[in-house]
Amino acid sequence: MPELHTIKVDAVIIGSGLAGLLLANELVEAGRRVLIATKGKLLDSNTRYAQGGLAAVLKDSVTDSRQAHLKDTIQSGAGLVDEAVAEQIINGGAELVQKLSALGVHFDKTDAGTPSLHLEGGHTSPRVLHSKDTTGKTIAEGLANALIAKAANEEDLNRPIILENSFALDILHFQATPLAPRVATGVLLLTDEGVLSVAATYVVLATGGAGQVFTRTTNPSVATGDGIALAARAGAKLTDLEFIQFHPTAFCKEGQPAFLVSEAVRGQGAILIDDRGHRFAFDFHKDGELATRDTVAKAIHQTMAERNLDSVYLDMRPIGSEAEIEAKFPNIVATLRKLGVDPIKEAVPVCPAAHYYMGGITADAKGQTSLVGLFALGECAATGLHGANRLASNSLLEAGVMALNLAKYISSQSFKAIPYKKNAKLTEAWFSHCRPFAVPADRTELQSLMYRRAGLVRDAEGLEKLEKQLDAISIYKTGIDRYERESANMLLVAKLIAKACALRKESRGGHVRSDFANPNNAAFLHHITFEKGAWRTQSAARAPFTSSERAVSLARP
């Protein structure tokens, strides 16, 4: 057994995006002992790369309202939005913006001093707050700086513990009897100093998405689905694993990263054209470039297929003058120039790339999962807010409001900390029962297979081949090597995605089947869930945790 250290805290948070950082700040303010761990640097998260902004109606007016925001969210979600959850999260937007402002995060304002609001696809009114085109970076840096300042206060005995380069190996949990609920008691972290066993009353996963499972993704390298894999191994319930949003306009050039060109660019007037210069988006939907993301992504995919193109083109020049474009989108313009395209002078080659995971760990609006003591926040959670297709810029809203909800809940509870002895026994059992685990023989091959077979458009033949190919490239390892454990997480999530895609024999939102091109409300207006080896269906109208689910199969991923 490697060198082992132990620690006890009130809450352990895995992940340092908006959700994790905001929750940590709030809990420290409330006097709770917090450890936040991230497998990279504190600023390595999907939040940091969010360009567009945060969708929020700060105050109902004649031009916009929270009810209108809710209606747009439901419309985008293609029949699977949990309206009660959506209403709760949307109503929390104003408080979230106030909290962020208090922590040093500020959004752009107009010359009149009012919030500057962008219009994005699927929204009927401009309601997206932003900080130029680096909103996520502004939020992440503001929250990280606030937390670092708290950690540096040596006079505060309750200052937070920040662990960078710390990889979560597994959730520690137990079940007193076969009929008793599973209880999460802590987490095992692989750190530079060895393995750290963290005992905590609240275990919080805020690990982001799983874009790195695909060859083309806008996500950073850390987005390997770790939280979803951790929850699955612990027996937590998962939902909507087939729904992955492919961003329509990611930079598309051989050998270059899939840099995201924000939805806000189209909201400000940029247009999509094909190789002939034809503005094709209106051929597919009356809203053209401002239709919901799934619609625009499908329009691009079909246009590329019909005309045998490697990409289509996003023309930013209709936005206005060179000065206007550079003032509104300085980061996008600068990055594209570095990648070899000047958007002021030419159209930008774009095509879809994996961007956001609507599915994940089943959770309510405060992050409670099916395991006692285990919470999931932000992109790794599936609350029902997004349904089958996320409305643009609702993700930062969800992550922040969920964090505030959980902070209030934890602050209202009397603590019964998990004793060291319990966690010590669980840790010892984990090491003594470590069995070989499956990893992909080649990560690149896994990513390529997933993009080809379970990317934007899927079909039964491809998915059947994918499941067999994923099994074929699976090899077994032992030990606690970080790269191999991370690869195992990717393989597990890939297999779950493949199976969920095969089970949903229709097209809905972010899930597109070429062999079942239309939605089938009669047969599939429900969620598909996975829990402890069993796939089930759950009514879209039911609460996230219910005992009246119908088993579809007992297939294991």
Please choose, from the candidates 416, 408, 405, 415, the residue with its C-alpha nearest in 3D space to the C-alpha of residue 363: 405
Q: Which two tokens mark 340?
A: 């070899």
Q: In sequence order, which residues have a C-beta less than 8 Å from that of residue 209 and are 6 or more positions away?
A: 46, 219, 223, 225, 356, 357, 360, 379, 380
Q: Which residue from 245, 241, 244, 243 is spatially nearest to 535, judged by alpha carbons?
A: 241
On whether the CB atoms of residues 516 and 261 are closer than 8 A, the answer is no
For 459, other C-beta atoms within 10 Å of its C-beta total: 16
Of 368, 416, 408, 358, nearest to 388 by C-alpha is 358
Name the CA radius of gyration of the chain, rounded. Answer: 22
Instruction: Give phi and psi for 149, each to the nearest 5.
Output: -65, -40
Tokens 């894999």: give the residue.
Answer: 229
Opening angle at CA 322, ends 319 and 324, nearest 5:
60
> Closest Cα to residue 354, out of 212, 453, 509?
212
Amino acid sitting at position 3: E
2: buried, middle or exposed (CB in 10 Å: 19+, 13-18, 0-12)? exposed
C-alpha 195/C-alpha 321 separation (Å) is 55
Q: What angle do CA 173, 179, 185 make, to 5 degrees?
A: 15
Q: Which residues are catalytic?
A: 293
Cα–Cα distance between 486 and 109 in angstroms, integer? 41
| Contact (CB, 8 A) for 235 and 374 | no
3-state secondary structure of 1: coil
Place of tokens 């594209």: 336
Dihedral sign for Cα atoms in the order 394, 239, 85, 401: negative
Q: Helix, strand, or coil here: 343?
A: coil
Neighbours of 273 (CB within 10 A): 16
What tokens appear for 92 in the block? 């929390």
Q: How far apart are the first and last CA of the chain?
A: 29
Q: β-strands 526-531, 474-477: how paired?
A: unpaired
How far, in Å, CA of 464 to CA of 495, rounded? 11
Contact between 471 and 186 (Cβ < 8 Å): no
Q: Tell me, what DSSP letter sits at residue 414? A: P
- CA pair distance 105, 48, nearest whole angstrom: 13
